[in-house]
Structure 1
Amino acid sequence: MADRDCSSLKQSNMSWALESALAESVNHGSFADVELSLFSRRLAPGKVGHPRPVYANSVVLKRTSPYFHGLLEGGFVEGDVNAGLPSFPISTDEYGYESDSDLEDDGIDENDVENEHEMAQRSRDSSPSPQLEDGNRKGKEIARSHSIPAREASRRSLRRIMIKDSAFNTWQWVVVYMYTGQVVFAPLKSQGLDDRASQRAQYRSNFPYHPLPCSPKSMYRLADILGLDALKTRAFADFKAKLSKANIYTELFTKFSSRNDAVLRAGINFFEDYCMNTSALPQLQRQLEIIAVGDSIHGVPVVISLFKACLCRKKRSLPATAVSAWDNGSEENVAPIDGSLDGIFSSARAPKGAGKSGQ
């Protein structure tokens, strides 16, 4: 019987760690023993601010991801939360993911206002509590000798960790996922800012105590860093499901795509399946113009990938004799395919010798 109970507790690292942390909290009265301080808002290009706390249990964190072993045991711990907030900057220009969709744009946000009140209240609470004004002396002594030390002991165990390169909203869902296996993704910004804001507002109305839905791209990046492969797979699947003809070029030419081979490949595959026709030219031309003026250098590998996709598509459509000519470098004699991007790219190639000046 005991063996079966032990086996059920350890059926997964996550559930076992959560069970252990909950059991331990019965004894010391506090489940969270780590405060992750994270930026939540984009203040200006390259600058972020508005740090906010995410509370978590170190046993669950370390059991779920090896990333936290060094983070919690190394030099990243900033100290006791009760010491105040001076060790964490209110803003930084060294944020590691400038296109993070989980950073809100600068402006007044009710959550930030609430958080400022929370921070201020926590600072006030760290000072000695006033004595109770009513009740007998014995009751006061009991409250002073039991309640206050228990609260202070709990606070002494709450350590702050400063994380500068991923957003508050993303980390909220990472911790929720570690506890429950659940995560909720927001629409991509490329699907429309109004639609994204509307869906997030509706979610907040339905689930007022849950974090707002997070970006699948931000979660993909963070899950990769943390080694949470199942979460990374879910984020990737959600991202692919939200690609469309309306947003494929926006997504293809992001820094996120240029830095993640699997994401870029997913975008190219979507392009090959649904966008290999002349109707795609206006959007593609706009992206090429942006690259041409030097405002989107990271888009160059995307153009190369698109060009390769067009060439491969054209090659697959050729008869065997034409493929042989193609492989031998005489493909200029092969007629282009009308009305498709691969045909357009082929017909746009300059003939041999066109780039040489006359002798």
Structure 2
Amino acid sequence: MSEPIVLHKKKRSPGKRRVASQHQAGLLALPIASGLAAQAAPVVSRSRDEVQRAALLASVVGQSFEDVKFWAYSRRTSDGAVDTPLSLLANSRLIRKTSSHFGFLLAAGFAESGVADMDAPYPSTRPSFTEMYDYASDSDLDDQEEVEDLPSTGEQSLPVSEAGGPRAPAMDEHSLEEGGKGQQKARLDESESEDHTEKIIAKPGKVVFLEDIAYTTWKAFIVYAYLGEVNFAPLKSENKARPSLTHSHTPPPCSPKSMYRLAEKYDIPDLKKDALKSIQSKLSPHNILEEIFSTFTSLYPAVQSIELEYLHAHSNDSGIRARLPKWLEAMEDGHLPRGAAGIVASLIDKLTTLPQMKQCPSGCNGSISNHCNNCGRSYT
């Protein structure tokens, strides 16, 4: 699913920059596509530090460091939908530096006709939820029950009506996270009259709506674009608590699987390599079967390859063998994704080629160890 960018048609008035309302102008959606990215002006070949330095120096003379605003969904509801869009601010030049796919979206068409108000609330013309999110098990989405059980932080979730449409929440102007940058709970300004056709652009920039990337993942990606650092959280199958952000200078944690998916989508090799390495480091005999038979793994051959290699290397583990029948039963019932049969077949082939341990003739549980009189090496 592509990410549309909102462009508002605007009019000019003496002394003020004005933009036509969404009611009059409508929305123009531009998808991120590899074909379109090739048409964009190439990003100047400079290092991340040089791009960041240029942006900071420009901010000294009044140019805003954050010139693009992203809206991304943050919560998975009990019925499987994804909702609660939150906002993040970023510097477009640093985002563009990570991948040519962002060139068309953030570089081309940055003329006056493409300017939107970054201070505007979440538009009432857009849905506040989606049922088309294509990564149902994304651990970077908060579950509805978890969000509702959290202590109040002064922020409010976006309520949804019984008919499935959004209702206007009772909120103050902006609710920003620690540091004053980035997070704003989505709110719908339905009190504004539809007849009011013009409004002043308080903070000009671009506004992008991400339809299939979680807020937590995108927040971590922006930090990666700035610093080149990622803080990967444990896999859900490890049954470990996600570390809390205790230091303001530490990148926010995110799922390595969610970040791998993002890096694959936007063709960012270094980030994809880091995420894959993190996934590999978190494999164990306790979670390998859950991971290798997951829908996520079935979609990415590179992930399946490293997990299959791990499974083969540990195929003689008693815990893996004890849990394998449960997964075979799930495959028989049709509950495993496509490709599961091939994984099982390769595992069976591996097990049949393993050297058999020699058992003690007296029936003991131990094995017989042979000793070479020449080199002194022991073997079974």
TM range (shorter): 0.5 to 0.7
SS across alignment from 1:31: coil
Answer yes or no: is 1:165 the counterpart of 2:205. Answer: no
Residue 80 of structure 1: aligned partner: 117
SS across alignment from 2:72: strand
Instruction: Please give the per-residue CA displacement for 1:265-312, whole angstroms capped at 9, x wherever unaligned.
Output: 11111111112355423311111212222222x1x4133123124425
Name which of 82, 85, 91 aligns with 1:48: 82
Name which of 155, 170, 175 aligns with 1:114: 155
Sort the Cα spacing of 1:12 and 1:244 in 2 relative to 1 into closer, same or farther, 3 A.
farther
Conserved? CA contact 1:39–1:49, under 8 Å = yes
Percent identity of equivalent pairs: 30
Superposed, which structure 2 residues align to 1:172-187 within 5 Å? 172-187=219-234
Q: 2: distance between equivalents of 1:307 and 1:236?
A: 24
Task: Let me know the Cα RMSD of the aligned residues.
Answer: 3.3
Conserved? CA contact 1:46–1:94, under 8 Å = no
Answer yes or no: is 1:248 the counterpart of 2:282. Answer: no
SS across alignment from 1:44: coil
The unaligned stretches of length 5 or more in structure 1 are: 1-9, 126-151, 318-336, 340-359
Instruction: Give the TM-score, by structure 2 length.
Output: 0.64
Q: What amino acid does structure 2 have at the position aligned with 1:292?
A: E
Instruction: Please give the per-residue CA displacement for 1:109-137, whole angstroms capped at 9, x wherever unaligned.
Output: 46985376999444699xxxxxxxxxxxx
Residue 323 of structure 2: aligned partner: 283
Residue 141 of structure 2: aligned partner: 103
Instruction: Please give the per-residue CA displacement for 1:123-168, whole angstroms capped at 9, x wherever unaligned.
Output: 699xxxxxxxxxxxxxxxxxxxxxxxxxx77x43232210010111
Name which of 323, 340, 346 aligns with 1:302: 340
Superposed, which structure 2 residues align to 1:119-268 within 5 Å? 120-122=171-173, 155-192=202-239, 195-197=240-242, 200-201=243-244, 204=245, 206-208=246-248, 212-268=252-308
Q: 1: distance between equivalents of 2:333 and 2:278?
A: 33
Q: 1: distance between equivalents of 2:142 and 2:136?
A: 12
The unaligned stretches of length 5 or more in structure 2 are: 1-43, 159-168, 177-199, 359-380
Q: 2: distance between equivalents of 1:211 and 1:13?
A: 20
When the two structures are aligned, how many residues end up with a matched partner?
274
Instruction: Give the TM-score, by structure 1 length.
Output: 0.67
Q: What amino acid does structure 1 have at the position aligned with 2:257?
A: K
Range 304-313 or range 17-26, more displaced: 304-313
How big is the shift at 1:88?
4.0
Of structures 1 and 2, the one scoring higher in RCO (CA 8 A, sep 6+) is 2
Q: Which has the larger radius of gyration?
A: 1
Q: 1: distance between equivalents of 2:175 and 2:156?
A: 14
Name which of 43, 49, 52 aligns with 1:18: 52
Name which of 64, 75, 85 aligns with 2:98: 64
